């Protein structure tokens, strides 16, 4: 395999495992996790830095510069870009020339939460590998996560839903909570005399704040939330 590959969908672990599998196939290695690829002379990993909200052009330029020299100990050089949905527009644009015409010895592996997280110009230059068929998280969960559906669920069904949602990355879970807040506000406007919507919104925002600002267990937090919704 040569060129540029975008791996999207699924969850973070699934996408990273696919990257590891590809490198193992290309180089006849037995790496198990993404951390096993660190500090290798022919592998360069671009990822979101701690306390940063985006991946900037300085990181992508460092990655493309890494590909200028031929492999040292492997058959190929690998540029891995994790959290690519966090790339700034400028950073994405800086990749275009390299993605379109990478060195013959280079393989660029990009991981993204969804296909739509990146510019069309990026997508058009990559071979696409979906970890979730053709559907992203939003499409698959659309019918399951509405308030109306949840209100009709048994406690057991709510717990099953928590287990499904908690498989996703924290950012995706936060998006679900934001959607619940929006839906709750819409219903509250339609039913101004029903105080349950205000209580539900307050509870959702409390859980959302906990997930954003602490290391609470996602599944347990969701279970506590859904079992408390009125």
- What ranges do the domains of the chain cover? 3-133, 138-228
Contact 8/138 with Cβ under 8 angstroms? no
Contact 34/20 with Cβ under 8 angstroms? yes
The whole-number pLDDT of residue 141 equals: 52
Q: What is the CATH number of domain 3-133?
A: 3.40.50.300
Closest Cα to residue 3, out of 142, 157, 161, 110? 110
The whole-number pLDDT of residue 178 equals: 80
Residue with tokens 């928590």: 162
Q: What residues does 45 pair with on adjacent strands?
A: 80
The whole-number pLDDT of residue 142 equals: 53
pLDDT in tens, 61-100: 999 999 999 999 999 999 999 999 999 999 999 999 999 9
Q: What is the CA radius of gyration of the chain?
A: 21
């Amino acid at each position: 395999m040569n060129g540029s590959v975008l791996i999207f969908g699924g969850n973070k672990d699934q996408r990273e495992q696919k990257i590891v599998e590809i490198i193992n196939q290309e180089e006849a290695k037995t790496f198990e996790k993404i951390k096993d690829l660190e500090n290798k002379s022919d592998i360069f990993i671009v990822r979101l830095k701690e306390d940063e909200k985006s991946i900037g052009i300085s990181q992508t330029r460092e990655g493309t510069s890494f590909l200028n020299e031929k492999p040292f100990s492997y058959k190929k050089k690998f540029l891995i870009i994790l959290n690519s949905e966090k790339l700034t527009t400028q950073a994405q644009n800086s990749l275009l020339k390299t993605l379109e015409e990478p060195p013959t010895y280079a393989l660029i592996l990009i991981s993204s939460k969804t296909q739509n997280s990146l510019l069309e110009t990026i997508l058009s230059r990559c071979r696409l590998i979906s970890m979730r068929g053709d559907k992203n998280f939003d499409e698959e969960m659309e019918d399951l996560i509405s308030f109306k559906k949840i209100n009709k669920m048994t406690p057991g069904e709510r717990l099953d839903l928590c287990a499904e949602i908690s498989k996703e990355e924290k950012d995706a879970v936060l998006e679900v909570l934001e959607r619940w807040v929006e839906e709750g506000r819409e219903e509250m406007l339609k039913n101004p005399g029903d105080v349950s919507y205000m209580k539900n919104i307050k509870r959702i925002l409390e859980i959302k704040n906990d997930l954003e600002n602490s290391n609470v267990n996602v599944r347990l937090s969701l279970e506590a939330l859904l079992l408390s919704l009125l």
